[in-house]
Amino acid sequence: MKEEISAGGIIFHGDFKNKIVLTSHKGISWSLPKGHLEEGETALTVAKREIYEETGISELELIEKLGTITRKERKATNEGKSKNKKEIVMFLFQTHQSELKPEDPKNPEAIWVDIKKAIEMLKYPEDKDFLGSNVNCLS
């Protein structure tokens, strides 16, 4: 089983009660901003970079490291289906930056959304569970 490591964050706005940022993945599903670790990068560096690329938010205040989302995915390959294990290290951030301007063409849209609605909109059950279990630290 191939293992992937990513990092990302839950970003809430200091002035918008109970709203976080979701990003559109390829315009077909919603997710929390995140991306793959490159050699020599720390999870926090990757989380900040990916948040900027997928949302345009550069003014981030780190609140805390939240933990890790573990996903087991099936991906189609030329040889058939393969299983991947994906570990996503997640951080909690606050911002006062309201405008969202994604730069990543694979993630063309970012929106502020109510936390409860965000849980419904997320594609992966593991992401929904993780966000739901961390709702208390957002208020």
Domains and CATH numbers, the chain: 2-138 (3.90.79.10)
pLDDT for res 80: 57
pLDDT for res 85: 85
Averaged pLDDT, groups of 10, the chain, 139 residues long? 87 86 90 93 96 96 95 64 81 95 90 94 93 75
Token reading at 12: 């809430």
Which residue, among 69, 70, 65, has the nearest Cα to 91 in the 3D structure?
Answer: 65
pLDDT for res 84: 78
**Dist CA 109 CA 38 (whole Å):** 24
